[in-house]
Amino acid sequence: MEHIHPHEHAIGPQDRILTKGHKPLAVWLSGLSGSGKSTIASVLEKKLLEKGYHTFLLDGDNTRSGLNSDLGFSDDDRKENLRRLSELNRLFVDAGLIVISAFISPFESERKLARSKIGDETFFEVFVDCPLEVCELRDPKGLYRKARKGEIANFTGISSPFERPSTPDVHIRSDKLTPEESADKLVEVIVPRIEL
């Protein structure tokens, strides 16, 4: 690291804010597989885009099939996965975007790391809370069935822990709200934070 010297750019975050007409934000949705994170994130992005905000959506499966395709699901690999995704979020925030991330992100320490890397003022944590039994009933990818049969090791909620966020910015009960209602609740809180 001694030979790395970050380049100072002529255009900074404030320039991008003025160009885009809103403040950047990293909206980080965490929760169990099947809790509805990706569905809510997609609805949220559509609603924000319709209001003229500049957005980008990151999803755990999508980033694991590209950027993080070299990582497995051990605790160390999960931590590295989230470290990289935190850096990616920081870059999108620096670009002036509202980046919406749907990641299981099971460990409190990694969510705190994400907040510290991205910046407390631009990190917005959403806990998409859904009981395990409801997630298992939904099981859109058939992963819980495989995990229960022992076909998937280190599966969050079954053989690997999920540490519930202790102080999320918003707590969504996705077993009680539709994705549309969940996204509306988020829009109500997010828009005042990003307006100039």
Ramachandran angles phi, psi of 102, nearest 5°: -115, 95
* Residue-level length of the chain: 196
Ramachandran angles phi, psi of 26, nearest 5°: -105, 110
Task: Encode burial over 121-152: b for 16+ CB neighbours within 10 A, e otherwise.
Answer: ebbbbbbbbbebebbbebbeeebbeebeeeeb
Query: CA-to-CA distance for 185 and 196, rounded, in angstroms?
Result: 20
Q: Is 42 a catalytic residue?
A: no
Question: Is 44:100 a contact under the CB 8 Å cutoff?
Answer: yes
Which residue among the candidates 101, 105, 174, 182 is catalytic per the annotation? 105
Task: Report which DSSP code applies to 152.
Answer: S
Residues with active-site annotation:
105
